[in-house]
Each structure stands twice: as C-alpha cells, then as structure tokens.
C-alpha cells in the first residue's frame, strides 16, 4: 500500500506533526530532524494525499473548466492555455463539455462542487444565470472566459467581441460588399451576440443594410453552418449575399463547404470571414480571413485572476477585455458584380 504520514513518522521516530511540518515548511524543526525526515520520505517514496489534506480545509489544487466542447479546436486551445498556466501554479484541470445544454452545465457544476474544485472557469453560455449562485454562496471563485454573464459579479476575460464584429464589417465594406449575411452561434452565447452587434453597427454606420432574415443562429457545429449557408446562398434568391460573416471558424468552414457544394468560388463569388483564428483557419481552402483572439494570454489571465482570488490577494472581480485582431487571408476579396 501507499505510505502515509504515519509510516514516515514511525520510521523516523517522530510524531506525525513533525512530518506534517516539514512538508509544509511551517513550525520549527531542527535542521537535523528535518533532514532525516526528508530522507525517510524519499526512501518510502511518500506522497502526501491531496484528498486528506483537502478534507482539513486546504485546497484540492484542481480547477474546473466548463466549455461547450473540448473537441472544438478553439476550446481545445483555450484548455491548453489554461492547463499550462494552471500546471505552472500547481493546479490541475478537469474539463467538462456542456454542449451548451443547461442541464449538462448544471450537472457538471454540481459535480465539480462535490469534488471541491478550488475554482471554476466557465467558457460556456447558459440561459439560467441562477445556476451560478450556489457556487457564489459557497464562495467558490468563478471566472468566465470568452463569454460573459452580465449581472453576475465574477471575473471575466474576453476579447472585445463588438470590436471584432466591427473589424470584420469594416474589412468587408472596404472591399466593396453591400449585401451580407451572418452565421451566428446559439443566441445564448454572449460573445456571438456581441459580434453580431458590432458587425451590424458598422454596417448601419455605412448605410448598408442586412436583408431580412439574414442572421442565422446555428449550433456551433460545421453541419449547422453549412445548412444555413446553403439556404442563405440559395441561387434563386436575387439578394443573395456576397459575403458571410461567421461567428466562429467552424461555422465559416460550414460556409466554405456550402459554397463549394453550390459551385460558388471563394473569394471570387463569395467572401467568408471567420472568428477565433484557430488552427483550422490556417489550413482551409482557401485559408480563412478571421478575427484572432489572443487565446494564450486569455488562458493565462483567467488562471491568474482565480489564483489571486484564492490567495485572497484580490478584492474585486475583474473584467479584462483583450483586443481582437483581423487576420486577412484568402477567403475575402472584392465582390465581382454580376447582378
């Protein structure tokens, strides 16, 4: 069996208290004893039980990460950034994919609580904001990443989605597009809503108008994006858009596939713009113009915020907004007029 603190104490001929102290560097122990004890710990290959120490009120050194889908490259990249910084600070990560379903969110939230994670990072949307109140009552630090929950006092790390949408609109307008449409995520996703808002606002500024029914809400998967794009690009529609703003790279890929299926060339016949700048954007055909989020800094930041709160070094919840950046690749170009 695994060696316990008792084994070490017995072997060293001291009390468990002494052993505990050398582990935590607390209390006073003679250098001599300390050295001996350490030697014994090594010999026995003693590994203190996180479980036991957590029970006495200490931390579990575990963070929960709730995202819609870890197999979505954007969230996988977020997870990696969070994992790295967490690991760096001595924390490990349990990941949960919610599929944007409230019931799954709730289950996972409960589970993570029962497992006493030290803090929670939430990158998934949810309709019912009350789901977080139990956590807040229990004073479990919470941070949102790439997503917001207004009216709730938690840390938040986001990119300026409004600006990201605006950036895209400006790019498309500059290129000469006037008839555009949007592939948005599920309406419960705050970031997507903001992107749409930013995009529209620039359009209005420029006097351009979105045709009726041209903002499509999709679940965040490729198939949905494709289906909606297919409808939007329906040849029989005289007002067919010349450009599509997609609220994430996956949707953009769906749009690309739809275009290919319809025999539309990108970017000649249709411009497509994505969001997130995941690895996908760099490998598509053609490579995707997209709005980049600074994923790594964002991941690092949430962890820092949370750990700071855990150490009680911080008082107020912070909201940090990072700058998006338009990455122009080859899926956007001036529209070729042919009406």
Partner DNA sequence: TTGAAAGCGTTACCAG
Partner DNA sequence: CTGGTAACGCTTTCAA
Question: Of the two residues 21 and 60, which places its CB atom closer to its own copies in the complex?
Answer: 60
Question: If contact means CB under 5 to 8 A according to the sort of partner, which of DNA, its own copies, none does residue 328 touch?
Answer: none
From CA 190, how far away is CA 261, in angstroms rounded? 31
Closest CA to 221 of 267, 186, 259: 186
Q: Site residues for its own copies, window 301-320 (CB under 8 A)? A: none
Q: Does 5 bind DNA (CB under 7 A)?
A: yes
In whole angstroms, the minimum distance from the beta carbon of 39 to DNA comes to 15
Q: Does 23 bind DNA (CB under 7 A)?
A: yes
Q: Does 338 bind its own copies (CB under 8 A)?
A: no
Measured from the Cβ of residue 28, the count of other Cβ atoms closer than 10 Å reads: 6
Question: Of the two residues 4 and 308, which places its CB atom closer to DNA in the complex?
Answer: 4
From CA 331, how far away is CA 161, in angstroms rounded? 21
Residue 280, token pair as written in the block: 């996908």
Question: If contact means CB under 5 to 8 A according to the sort of partner, which of its own copies, DNA, none does residue 100 touch?
Answer: none
Question: If contact means CB under 5 to 8 A according to the sort of partner, which of its own copies, DNA, none does residue 115 touch?
Answer: its own copies
Q: Which 8-state DSSP code applies to residue 78?
A: H
Q: Does 211 bind its own copies (CB under 8 A)?
A: no
Question: If contact means CB under 5 to 8 A according to the sort of partner, which of its own copies, DNA, none does residue 4 touch?
Answer: DNA
Question: Of the two residues 185 and 194, which places its CB atom closer to its own copies in the complex?
Answer: 185
From CA 228, how far away is CA 15, in angstroms rounded? 69
Interacting residue with DNA among 25, 42, 45, 57 (CB under 7 A): 57
Quick note: the x/- pattern for its own copies over 111-150, rule CB under 8 A, is xxxxxx-----------------x---x------------
* 91-96 contacts, C-beta under 8 A, 24 or more apart: 91/61, 91/62, 91/63, 91/118, 91/303, 91/307, 92/61, 92/62, 92/63, 93/62, 93/63, 93/64, 93/65, 94/62, 94/63, 94/64, 94/65, 95/65, 95/67, 95/70, 96/64, 96/65, 96/66, 96/67
Q: Does 124 bind DNA (CB under 7 A)?
A: no
Q: Phi and psi (nearest 5°) for 272?
A: -130, 135
Q: Is the CA virtual torsion 13, 18, 23, 29 positive or negative? A: negative
Q: What does the binding site for DNA look like in residue numbers (CB under 7 A)?
A: 1-2, 4-6, 13-18, 20-21, 23-24, 26-30, 32-33, 46-49, 51-53, 55-58
Q: What does the binding site for its own copies look like in residue numbers (CB under 8 A)?
A: 1-2, 45, 47-52, 54-55, 60-62, 69-73, 76-77, 79-80, 83-84, 87, 92-97, 108, 110-116, 134, 138, 222, 253, 256, 279-280, 283-287
């Amino acid at each position: 069996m695994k060696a316990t603190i008792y084994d070490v104490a017995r072997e060293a001929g001291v009390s468990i208290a002494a052993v505990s102290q050398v582990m935590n560097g607390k209390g006073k122990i003679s250098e001599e004893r300390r050295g001996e004890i350490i030697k014994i710990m090594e010999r026995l290959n003693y590994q203190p039980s996180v479980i036991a120490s957590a029970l006495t009120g200490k931390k579990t050194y575990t963070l929960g990460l709730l995202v819609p889908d870890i197999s979505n490259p954007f969230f996988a990249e977020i997870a990696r950034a969070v994992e790295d910084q967490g690991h760096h600070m001595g924390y490990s990560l349990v990941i949960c994919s919610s599929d944007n379903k409230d019931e799954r969110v709730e289950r996972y939230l409960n589970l993570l609580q029962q497992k006493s994670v030290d803090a929670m990072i939430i990158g998934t949307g949810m309709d019912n904001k009350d789901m977080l109140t139990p956590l807040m009552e229990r004073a479990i630090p919470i941070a949102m990443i790439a997503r917001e929950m207004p009216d709730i006092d938690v840390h938040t790390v986001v990119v300026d989605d409004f600006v990201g949408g605006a950036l895209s609109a400006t790019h498309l307008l500059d290129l000469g597009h006037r008839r555009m449409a949007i592939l948005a995520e599920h309406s419960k996703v705050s970031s997507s809503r903001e992107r749409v808002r930013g995009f529209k606002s620039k359009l209005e500024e420029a006097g351009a108008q979105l045709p009726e029914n041209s903002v499509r809400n999709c679940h965040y998967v490729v198939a949905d994006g494709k289906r909606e794009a297919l409808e939007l690009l329906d040849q029989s529609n005289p007002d067919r858009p010349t450009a599509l703003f997609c609220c994430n790279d996956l949707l953009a890929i769906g749009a690309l596939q739809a275009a290919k299926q319809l025999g539309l060339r990108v970017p000649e016949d249709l411009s497509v713009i994505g969001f997130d700048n995941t690895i996908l954007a760099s490998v598509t055909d053609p490579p995707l113009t997209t709005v980049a989020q600074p994923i790594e800094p964002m991941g690092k930041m949430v962890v820092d915020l949370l750990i700071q709160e855990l150490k009680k070094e911080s008082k107020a919840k912070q909201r940090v907004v990072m700058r998006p950046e338009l990455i122009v690749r080859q899926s956007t170009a001036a529209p070729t007029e042919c009406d």
